[in-house]
Structure formats: structure tokens, C-alpha cells
Amino acid sequence: MNWLRRLVEKKRLEMQLQTELQDHLERQAADYLRDGLSEAEALRHARLKFGGVEGVKEDCRDARRTRWVESTLQDARFAARTLRKSPGFALAAIGTLALGIGANTAIFSVINGVILRALPYTDPERLVAVEERLRTGENFAFSYPDFLDVQRASRSFVGIAAYRWSGVNVTSPGEPAYIHSQQVSAGFLSVLGIKPFLGREFRQQEDQRNAAPVAMIGYALWQERFGARPKAIGATLVAGGKGYTVVGVLPANFRFNGDSQMLTPIGQNDTVATQKRDMYSGIEAVARLNPGVTLERANSELKAIGSRLAREYPDTNSRMTFGAEPLKRQVIGDIGPTLFLLAGAVGLVLLIACANVANLFLARSLSRTREFSIRAALGAGRGRMLRQLLTESILLGLIGGVGGVLLATAGTGWALHHLPDWLPRTQDIVVDSRVLLFAVAISVITGIVFGLVPALRQRFDLETGLRQGSRGTSRGVRRLQSSFVVTELALALVLLTGSGLMMRTILRLWSVNPGFDPHNLLTMTVTLSPKVLNSPAQMRTGWEQVLERVRNTPGVQAAALDSLLPLSGSTQSVAYWASAETTVPKSAPTAWAYSPTTGYLETMKVPLLRGRFFTEQDRLGSQPVVVIDETLAKRVFPGKDPVGSSLSIQLLGRVRIVGVAGAIKHLSLDEDAFGPRQPALYVPFLQFPDEFMPLTINGMNLLVRTSSSPLSIVNAVKRSVLGPTRDQPVRDVATMEQIMSDSMARRRGMLFLLAIFAGLALALASIGIYSVISYATSRRVQEVGVRMALGARPQQVLRLFMKQGLRMVLIGVVAGIAASFALMRLLVKLLYGVSPADPITFSAVALLLCVIACAAIYVPARRAAQVDPMIALRYE
């Protein structure tokens, strides 16, 4: 009979055991009876010879090896009964634990989704991101001819595919709307090991210039625009004014480089974006390593290809090389340390929760002394009773864990919806079996941690227990409670300090001068009518007309178009050099490349330091001009006036400098913390050669300086953009202040969570100190009564308890400051303009903690001081 059956069929086994032993005794007695003994004697002898029947039964039960389960179940039932009898205690403990475990489960589910879980592709650990890089290490996007060469030459990969993000307006079937789309190589899905939900992926011959336009569509788009009909395969989708034949539908949960609802073959892109070897316009590559090929081998092969291309195309490739890294590392980025910091913070919250519940248990253990003494007197062993206590605390831990998982699920769902976008892979953050396992493990460990100390402290000895009854106070218990509270306060202070430093950082960042005026500045992305997209000249006119209409909109002070929006996270840079060489020198530095229309400086309120900005006269055919920023001026023309000099710019050639503008922040408000600033240059959009015009198909950034609140004129601006043909929708409407705020998304997310955790910690620690003081006062009611009867004033009683509490607070604060001092160094990468040992933050949070803790002490202390001595003396 197997183990499980023995456990389940316990009742039957018991009956059989009884019958078997009875049978033995009867046979023995019968034998004795035959030997001539009397019936009573026979039975007595039989029993004697057999030994203790109950003992034998116990031994037989042990032989089943199911005992521990049975007694654990018994303990759990008893524990549940005990907890039901003190619902206040149980609720307080469970609530505290649910918060602690919930916060930890939530953060773990994030770490699990973002870092631990495999990417949702086949054999994802064999997938690598292949990158084109400067020889100095900086990652670039691929140039398409370079990608094709790498694709042809490399032997390390099963397959390699390029992808390039692009947005497009879909006009039919269904309502016109903007969607995210990507241009990808043939074989892109095979590299990822994903099969289309319907149809097929692109063929090699479709991934070429002048092939018939084909598209794969996203599952959601298929549902919305094609009513989920299989006939969608072969149907036509009109996007960007072009008709695409649908050849495949992507699986429902397919995500790569964001959620794109349309894929087109990248080889069909015949714009300058894919034709020039020195044009790096957002193309990236993913590849699957051949079996047996290591990342190192792939990297050395890529490097060799890089060197070969540099020899073959010295004009464009002398500075470039290629490399690969695991795809997962590219997707995750550098979020890891931040998440682990949060895990640490949330661990502290759980410790505080444990200390609180341990304190509750300690207080209760005193009142249970009598219960355990009686059980000891009845023969229960110490180990058995310890186990009983631990079962109780683990049961509490598990119930708290259930609450925690519910809280975590609701909390992460809410937070992912409402927090700024600061995490990769958010769609992978779900409560899966690993998260549940974590929650169960952490609940059990928590139960053991907060249960063990009080359980070991529990007095099981008979005489002190019975003599003392429920009234005695134990010095040891009080000291233990105080040290728990001190620890809680110290940990809470650490979390408060962390969020204080983050808050100071964000305030600092807000006060950083970005070099332009972000107030009353509206931004949006504008696309042109599909009707003009086939002619560069018409596109240019189209953009000019949009600008003209927007400038004439009431409430608009100034407006400009630009291909690049500072602080938005997108970048665009070119190499520049002072000499007249026509090819890019190997050592040429790079600058941010903006290509705005006229009115840009005026709209952004970037100061013009020298010379002039572009005018309507700076257009195609006139002298090519550039405006540089002061960083570039200082670097290339130190001590001289650069206006009138010439500069060489990659892709554009030799241009004349006509003005110098103030420097602005490009990547982030804290970018100067990461080394010397990269300079910037502005080339006139209207001087863009025809071949560059298609680069604006995905849209241009419209900047609008408004006289009043920027959001109030959004609709007016939208109408102006829409145009007479009413087919120029806008998207990504935001104020510049929102964009700045989003550029701090990670820090804001961190601040938000740290602040929640610190608030939780502060609340728990306050409850902790409150309950310890209340407990102390309730234990000393009689003493207080005597003191007051002997003439002590309420003031003195109040002082007595306040003093007891304040000592804990002071020790806690000192310990907390010391711990923060050591731990805040971990935050250093997230801080800006504030030292991890910032005295202002440290004193402010210490003060905050003191004030709140004092309030928590004052309430019970005052209650004790106001007690009526007569009632106090009668109190039992």
C-alpha cells in the first residue's frame, strides 16, 4: 500500500490494526485456556506476554510513516481554532503580513517578468542582437548595405534579419488611423522561431526593391479591420497611400521591439534610409546562433567582416565595426540594478512587517503562558509545543501570503497602467507559477522568521507558568520587543532616506535649465497626406503649408517643424570635421543633428548667441548653411568667431556656419553627469535634398509656442494640421513639460515605489512602537494607579512612558542614520545633484520619523496618564 493511501485510509487501517492485535490476544488466551488456566488468568497472561497494546499500536502507526502529516494537520486545525478565538490579533498579523508579502511578490513578479523569464521566442537563449558599432564601442543603427554584407558573409548564424521601426497611417479597410509598423527582412519570423498565425512570412524575392507590396498584419489589426476572417490573406491593406497585399497574420501575443500591427519587407524600402552605406536610419538586426557557435566566435567573425568592409569602403566604413550581444541583454538594458535595489527596499518592508508580527506574538505569548504550562504538565514535549507555535505562525504567514498575492496582482496591474513607461517587457509581467512559488516560499520563511523568536521565548516550565498566571511581565520579553521596534524604526528610516534622496534628485532635475523654455510649448507628431508622399517637391510644399497654417492659428506665438525632439529619447547624429576633406576622417567626432525649419530658436526660446538663424531664403539651391551650438563653436573654433567659417558634415558636405545657438540638453536633463557634452548642429530642413524627403514619411515633430496653456489650443492646432484634404492626423500630443517628465520616468518610477514602501515602513514602524507602548502601559496600570494614589501627577506618568518610547526612537534613528549612510551609496547611479550622504535629506527624514513616532508614543502614554487611580488599582 503506498504512502498516500496509508494517509487517506487511516480509519480503515486503525480498525484492521485493532482486529489483528485482538486476534493475537484471543489466540494466545485460548492456548492458555487449553493449558488449564482460568479464563481471567488466561487473558491476563496473554496480555502480559504481548506487552503494552497501546504502545504496540503507536509503533505500528509509526511504521506507516505518515505521522508527521497527521500531526501537522492536527496542529494546523488547532492553530486555526486558536486564531479564530483572537480575531483582532489574527487580522492585525495577517494584514501586516499581506502588505509585506504582497509588496515583495509584486517586485518579484516584475523581476521575474523582466529579467528571469525567457523571451517569448523559440530557443531564445540562442538569439543575439547584431549591432553596427563605432570602433570606439558606441552602438549605431545598421546601414542597410552593411547589413546585407554581414548577412551574406557571416557563417555563425542560422539566420539574421533586419528590422526597422516605422509608423504609418492606415486608411482602408476601416477608419484612417496611425499604427506602429516595422520593416523586416524575409525570414524574420523564422529567426525568432515564430510561425505566422495565418498565411506565411515574406519570401526572399519579396524582400527586394520593386517587388509587389506585401504585408503581414498584427492579430489585433486582423480582428478590427478584417473581422478576423481567414479571407484577409490576399486582401488589400492601404497604408501610407499604398496598397499592400496581406500574406500573413501574426500570432495574437506576438511582440518584438514593441507592439507593431504591420510588417513590410525592408528590402522594398527604396528611400535613402536603405540605400546609402553611411545612412544609419534605425535599422537593427537579430540573429540566431548556429548550433555549437558561441557568442565569442560570432563576435570575432563579425569583427573580421567589419575590418574587411572598412578596407573595401574606406570612405564610409573606416570607423565602423560589428558585434553581437545576447538579445535578452539588449531588451532588458540596464534596468537590472534598479530592480534589485527595489527588491532590497521591499525586503526591508517585509523585515519590518515580521518584527511587528513577532511583537504581537511576544505579547500574546505572555498571556498564553498558562496554556502552555498546562499542556507541559499533561505531558506535551517542548519540541511538540514549539512545533505547534511554529505551525501557528506559518499558517498566519500563508494566509498573509494569499492576501499578499491578491494585493500584488492588483497592485502591479494598477502600477503598470498608471506609472510612466519605464520598464521593458511589461507584457511579460504576470503572476506565473514561479511567482506563486516565490510567494509560498516567502510566506513560509516569513512565518518561521517571525514565529521562531517568540516561540523560543515561550516559557513551557510548569511552576513559573502556573504561579505567574497571565499577569506577570517578563523583562526579557520587554527588551526583545524594544529591540524589534528599534530595528523597525531604523529600517523605516533607511527607506525614508532613499525616497528623500530620490525626491531631491527629481527636484534638482526639474530645476536644471534645459537650454530652452519648456513652458507653454506644445509638441506633436505630424504626418502628411498620403497623396503627396510620392513627390519630394510636393512633400516639401506640404510641410511648408502645415507650418503656415499652424502659425496662423489663434494662440500660436511661433511654430517650427523638426525631425528630432530633444529629451524624447530618440537620437540622430552625424560626423563633422573642420577640414575640407570630402570623406569622413577616421577620428571625426559626432554631433546631434537637428534639421528644423525656420522659427525653431524662436519657438524653443533657445538663445541665438551670434550671427543669424535660417530664413526663408535658405532653401534648396542656395548656399548650404548650418547653425552650430556653443559647445561645437568652443570645440572647433576656440576663441574665434565661427560665423562665416565652413564646416564639413557627413552626408551634407561642406556648409557655411551662419550662426551660433545656445546649448540645450538632448538625451536627458542629467546628461552632463556622464561626461563631456556632445555638440549639436542645425541644418535647414528646407535645404534637404529630394532624396532625404522620404525620411519624413513617418512624421515630423511640430513645436508650437503658445501664449496660454498649451493644451487649450490642441484642437485648434490639430484642425490646422489636418488640412483641406482632411487626411493629415497628428499623434503623440504632449507638452514639453510632459516630455521632460517622461525623460525622468525611471527615476520617477523608483521614487514612486520607494515612497510607497517608505510610507508602508513608516506606518508599520509607528504601529509597532504604538503597540509596544500601549502594551507596556496596560501591563503597568496597577503601578500607575499606585503612583497616582501616592500623589504622582498625570504629567509625570506621561513623562515616564514618553521617556521609555523616546529612548527607542533615538536609538532607532541613530542606527537608521548609520545604516543609511552605508546603504545610500547603492543609489548613487540614480541620484543627480545630491550626495548620497546629503545632510539636508538625512536630517529631514530623521525629523519626520521622530515626529511621527512621538505621536505614536504620545497617544497610549496620554491614555495611561489619564487613568483613574481607583479603576487602575482594581484592574486585573
Partner 1 sequence: MNKSDIPQGTLDLLILKVAALGPIHGYAIAQRLQQVSRDVLQVQQGSLYPALHRLENKGFLAAEWRESDTGREAKFYRLTAKGKRQLKEEEANWGRLAEAVGLVLKLSGSEGV
Beta carbons of 769 and 808 less than 8 angstroms apart: yes
SS3 content of the chain, % helix, strand, coil (to 5): 55, 15, 30
Backbone angles phi, psi at 178, to 5 degrees: -85, 135
Q: Which is nearer to partner 1, 47 or 180 (CB)?
A: 47
641 contact partners, CB below 8 Å, separation of at least 6: 610
135 contact partners, CB below 8 Å, separation of at least 6: 319, 320, 321
Q: Which is nearer to partner 1, 64 or 610 (CB)?
A: 64
Q: Which is nearer to partner 1, 64 or 277 (CB)?
A: 64
Distance from C-alpha of 790 to C-alpha of 819, rounded to nearest angstrom: 44
In the complex, the residues that contact partner 1 under the rule CB under 8 A are 1, 6, 16, 19-21, 23-24, 26-28, 49-53, 55-56, 59-60, 62-65
Q: State the nearest-atom distance from the C-beta of 39 to partner 1, in Å.
A: 16
Q: What is the CB neighbour count within 10 angstroms for residue 328? A: 17
CA 124 and chain centroid, separation: 21
Which DSSP state fits 142?
B
For cell 556622464, the residue is: 674
Q: Which is nearer to partner 1, 65 or 656 (CB)?
A: 65
Q: State the nearest-atom distance from the C-beta of 383 to partner 1, in Å.
A: 22
Q: What is the CB neighbour count within 10 angstroms for residue 846? A: 21
Q: Which is nearer to partner 1, 10 or 387 (CB)?
A: 10
Q: State the nearest-atom distance from the C-beta of 380 to partner 1, in Å.
A: 23
| Helix (H) or strand (E) segment spanning residue 248 | strand 242-249
For cell 545598421, the residue is: 142
And the C-alpha cell for 555? 494662440
How many CA atoms, within 13 angstroms, populate the side-chain half-sphere of residue 783? 11
Q: Which is nearer to partner 1, 5 or 471 (CB)?
A: 5
Q: Which is nearer to partner 1, 51 or 554 (CB)?
A: 51
β-pair partners for 705: 521, 558
Of 103, 876, 849, 842, nearest in space to 498 by CA: 842
Give whole-number Cα distances, 718 to 65, 299, 523, in Å. Answer: 77, 48, 11
Q: Which is nearer to partner 1, 50 or 875 (CB)?
A: 50
Strands 625-629 and 653-661: parallel
Find the radius of gyration of the CA atoms of the chain: 37
Q: Where are the alpha helices (DSSP H) in 51-127?
A: 53-63, 67-85, 87-111
- Order the strands of the 700-706 sheet from edge to edge: 556-562, 700-706, 521-526, 730-735
As to burial, measured by CB atoms within 10 angstroms (0-12 exposed, 13-18 middle, 19+ buried), residue 729 is: middle
Q: Which is nearer to partner 1, 23 or 548 (CB)?
A: 23
As to burial, measured by CB atoms within 10 angstroms (0-12 exposed, 13-18 middle, 19+ buried), residue 345 is: buried
Q: State the nearest-atom distance from the C-beta of 76 to partner 1, in Å.
A: 25
Q: Which is nearer to partner 1, 53 or 667 (CB)?
A: 53
Q: State the nearest-atom distance from the C-beta of 300 to partner 1, in Å.
A: 59
Angle at 46 between CA 40 and CA 48, to 5 degrees: 105
722: left (phi over 0), alpha (psi -120 to 50) or beta: alpha
Q: State the nearest-atom distance from the C-beta of 59 to partner 1, in Å.
A: 4
Q: Which is nearer to partner 1, 22 or 534 (CB)?
A: 22
Q: State the nearest-atom distance from the C-beta of 63 to partner 1, in Å.
A: 4
Distance from C-alpha of 181 to C-alpha of 220, rounded to nearest angstrom: 13
And the C-alpha cell for 377? 504538565
Q: State the nearest-atom distance from the C-beta of 50 to partner 1, in Å.
A: 5
Q: State the nearest-atom distance from the C-beta of 72 to partner 1, in Å.
A: 20
Q: State the nearest-atom distance from the C-beta of 111 to partner 1, in Å.
A: 44
Q: State the nearest-atom distance from the C-beta of 860 to partner 1, in Å.
A: 57
Q: State the nearest-atom distance from the C-beta of 2 to partner 1, in Å.
A: 9
Q: State the nearest-atom distance from the C-beta of 25 to partner 1, in Å.
A: 9
Which DSSP state fits 113?
I
Q: Which amino acid is at 437?
A: L
Q: What is the CB neighbour count within 10 angstroms for residue 326? A: 17
Q: State the nearest-atom distance from the C-beta of 20 to partner 1, in Å.
A: 5
| Helix (H) or strand (E) segment spanning residue 626 | strand 625-629
Give whole-number Cα distances, 783 to 364, 577, 772, 859, 863, in Å. Answer: 21, 87, 17, 19, 14
Q: State the nearest-atom distance from the C-beta of 68 to partner 1, in Å.
A: 15
Q: State the nearest-atom distance from the C-beta of 33 to partner 1, in Å.
A: 13
Beta carbons of 267 and 211 less than 8 angstroms apart: yes
Q: In three state form, how does the secondary structure of 350-390 look?
A: HHHHHHHHHHHHHHHHHHCHHHHHHHHHCCCCHHHHHHHHH
Q: Which is nearer to partner 1, 19 or 172 (CB)?
A: 19
Q: Which is nearer to partner 1, 8 or 789 (CB)?
A: 8
Q: In three state form, how does the secondary structure of 303-316 look?
A: HHHHHHHHHHCHHH
Q: Which is nearer to partner 1, 16 or 622 (CB)?
A: 16
Rounded to a whole number of angstroms, the distance between the first and last alpha carbons of the chain is: 57
Q: State the nearest-atom distance from the C-beta of 56 to partner 1, in Å.
A: 4
Q: Which is nearer to partner 1, 63 or 537 (CB)?
A: 63
Q: Which is nearer to partner 1, 4 or 462 (CB)?
A: 4
Q: State the nearest-atom distance from the C-beta of 49 to partner 1, in Å.
A: 6
Q: Which is nearer to partner 1, 26 or 421 (CB)?
A: 26
Q: Which is nearer to partner 1, 60 or 755 (CB)?
A: 60
And the C-alpha cell for 826? 547603492
Distance from C-alpha of 502 to C-alpha of 755, rounded to nearest angstrom: 9
